[in-house]
Structure 1
Amino acid sequence: MSAEPADQLLIALAQLNPIVGDIAGNADKARAARKLAAEQGADLILFTELFIAGYPPEDLVLKPAFQAACRTAIEELAAETADGGPAMLIGLPWVDKGKLHNAVALLEEGRVATLRYKVDLPNYGPFDEKRVFVPGPMPGPIPFRGVRIGVPICEDIWSQDVIECLTETGSELLLIPNGSPYRRTVYDERMNVAVARVVESGLPLAYLNQAGGQDELVFDGGSFVLNADRSLAIQLPNFQERVRITRWERWADGWRCEEGARAPLITEDEADYAACVTGLRDYVEKNRFPGVVLGLSGGVDSALVAAMAVDALGADRVHCVMLPYRYTSGESLADAAAVAQALGVRYDIVPIAEGVEALEHVLAPVFGNRGPDVTEENLQSRVRGTLLMSISNKFGSMVVTTGNKSEMSTGYATLYGDMNGGYNPLKDLYKTQVFRLCHLRNRWKPADALGPDGMVIPANVITKPPTAELRENQKDQDSLPPYDVLDAILERLVERELPVADIVAEGFEPVLVARVERMLNIAEYKRRQAAPGVKVTTRNFGRDRRYPITNRFRETV
């Protein structure tokens, strides 16, 4: 290296949480971030993919009025850069010659100085960008104050082609705006891809990712900077908003980012818990609910959801309701009360016997002499669901539902009963992970959690056998295999799409595997009517795994 750098750039990374469709609000958020960056002497501020629209905008982006509003907002922001402050690299939808592109605009000296379009449009898992956007041409670098900056957009770095083109056309460093949603395996995958592109190109890069929740997706931030020698220069925290200044210097052998703060990332179960809290918080806040209400049964699922809700919103915005019937044990009543007390939430007890018995009386002439069966069990669940929805209607709070992925997979849930609700933070967590996260929350919580420290889920809630308490002495494992076995089979069927024969070859009972596969298939109609919920695995229901309801295909063992 030479003794002194030839040039310097101060580049601000804006790891922020935009709201889909809130063009004015997103523009104001960009203004505030630019002001903060200007106070720290930044030359340029980078925003995330489609920032001005919010990501992902889905079919909203096809509306001409929405496209026009985004363009107007960008032109207004561009005019403000005539003040001599930082230039802006910001994502937006842009129509060029009648074609809609996922674009990044450089706003500089009072104008939209240049644009680049995303080339590689993802069309898998939660992404369907080919549905709404047209791919752009292979890009060259953007000239900025004597520096040639490559700006590949998100998926453009997941293959070699775009980076190879940017390198061959003279790019000196790479600034990458992303809208990359969380899943448990994502950190190693992102870093491996980024390191591969650095090695191939010989260029340093800044990877900027969105933060916050959008419907089922949670964007975890975790932005970072790699130098050309693959060293980690900067690491932003995950699940938090940040505007971070990075200092870049041009040396004889190229650009290098000065080393700065490297925040530790939370991973694995901690990251899954933080994702669930973030998704619930932003769903409630962005849709302007005053708070949430949920049924607190004394079981492990509702206890974990209550803890997540308090961590997301604060105890004063969480209303827990125990809805007992003749099968509700004294143990469950005591456990629910203990959870509510530990979390400091409003807690009401609303017995459901009168409602259930009234419905049974009304239905008696129709049912005739048929004996009780699962119908009467479902009546209990549906009365509970109706009461919770009535509380929601009266006070405006959103009902949070509490079914886990094991239940959603097998159909072990009641339509219009315990499935009632606006959002489900446990939807992509198997039951075995629910238990792990309860233990986790009793010893740890996210840095921005609003709930109390320490044990908030009593030990008995976690250790007692799970039960829906819809009949005398009922246990979940009367109807389902043990959860450790069930979840292992489901993970192979759902996440990995393994053939039934391969699962049996791993040592699982053939009859059991066939039974679980059948339950998974026939429950599709229920899942289509389930509340949205946070994605944490590689294949969640809804965004990733989409199966037909009418489906006679069955594998043979």
Structure 2
Amino acid sequence: MKDGFVKVAAVTPDIRVADVAYNTQNICKMIDETVAKGAKVIVFPELCVTGYTCSDLFTQDILLKESKEALFKIAEYTKEKDAIIFIGVPLAIDGELYNVAAALNHGKILGLTTKTFLPNYGEFYEMRQFRPGPDKARWITLDGKQIPFGPQLLFVADQMEELVISAEICEDVWSPVPPSTLAAREGATVIVNCSASDETIGKASYRESLIEGQSARLICGYIYANAGEGESTTDLVFGGHNIIAENGTTLVSSERFRNEVIYTELDVKRLLSERRKNTTFQTEKERMLIRIPFSIHVEETELTRKFASRPFVPSVMAERNLRCEEILTIQAMGLKKRLAHAHAKSAVVGISGGLDSTLALLVSAKAFDALGMDRSGITAVTMPCFGTTDRTYQNACKMSLKLGATLREIPVGAAVEQHFKDIGHDPEDHSVTYENSQARERTQVLMDVANQTGGIVIGTGDMSELALGWATYNGDHMSMYGVNASVPKTLVRHLVHYYADTCKDQELKDVLYDVLDTPVSPELLPPKDGEIAQKTEDLVGPYELHDFFLYYLLRFSYEPGKIYRIARYAFDGEYDDATIYKWLYTFCRRFFIQQFKRSCLPDGPKVGTVALSPRGDWRMPSDACAEVWLRDLEKAKPVGM
């Protein structure tokens, strides 16, 4: 449960219809198995103590008596089990029969959640035996104890206040306004569903989308445990389709037509972070629901859920291609509007032969096509200087011409040397002054060429560079419209690759593939033996790590120690712990001290859920301190560092 992770399980036990003793034995067996694997929240199907398909046997006193005794027996069995467990049971109260999810914890029956919506259509006929639960929860006496009974009970973990659980039963989630909606608005971060949903053609995909949708609307974890083999097949078949979702995403689901257990870890701190940022998620001002404390020990949870090492890049190729096309279109449409609004006759792009400027040039071509303008209006400017290699120079020229842009070569070396004389800088001193003078001279050239051609300067810098501050202030940091401003470096590569894969010009393909093979570099230091001497990732660290850090810091507000923990899982086999820690420390430090560059960014289109625009997604003081974040990371420092 460290860092907000809670291991949970959805269980489909083997049962026999109306064989309460057999069912009780198997439920207890599965409690043992799931607790042994570290599950803290365990959910069983609807009416699993008796079987959902007992039909009119539910009117038999002997079955109801047996099921009540089984409830007490299972509750007692949980006495030494460190978990909260939900089981489905029929329960007769005040002469009426109810479909109930019982919450059990350390030998106690904490509460009895009633089913609100009883299906009485198609294959379902529940109102023949059961009554809907009360509108509001009340207290009843059961086995001499006062126990909450009704809908939307909230079970609150004593040792982990973020973990608040509420239950609903099967049809409840299919209703227009599920009971879980109010429960979430009063603080429930996890919803459990004891269900018995039969299998028909197409129902499985709808069921999964329903659970995903509810978890997304409520920004919650959702544990759905479904009845399976063992239920009566007189008219129906139950497939044991268990689902665990978190905020719109299925984390794990079971194979249908097999009785099995699924496990994963829900991140309740992440859910609360999402709720705080989402102003449309409005909590109830007055608490109306009964809150019941329960106890589980807080301990380190072994993580089994997957964390994508490249969270900005879809892992499935078909989805990746769709994403790339959509992003290129968003970038191009943003630039199209800006060009039209400014009555620009040209778009001026500083083209280096690197990834970022290549993407900016491709987007410019797409925008010009959308405007019906001739691509010759794109002025691609190559500005060779001290660090330019023949490889990048040739690629810059070739791709500009193949795309139909107007290529201009403006060497800036002489101007920079004159600038060194003006400010009294020794050209042999390859310090930051040496590097930034070149970047600022290039930006001045681009701005003046834009004036000459009646155009605007298209920014090339990407979001990863902005996060690290890896840009020269008032140099490549500045433009009139930054088309790559919310595209991370790992995604830039895939966008260029996608364009290369889908374009029909073989020569252009070859150039783009060579750009992709070229090391990332600002090329501000002289080459060594004709090769790039200055490799960005050697200086600031691998962009795939930085993009991972950026995603989890901004998207989910993870603290650095937690980011370090999940990065070790995500990059297992790629980077050792010391390397991950080193570059995460660098990221946190640079992210804070370089905010001043992000506070005055040019306009640019947002393309994803993470962006750094000071006018939109990220508004941060330029002089904020990083100490709190760095201290948190210090606690996770690997031994020996």
Question: What TM-score do the two structures reach when normalised by structure 1?
Answer: 0.50
CA radius of gyration, larger in: 2
TM-score (norm: length of structure 2): 0.44
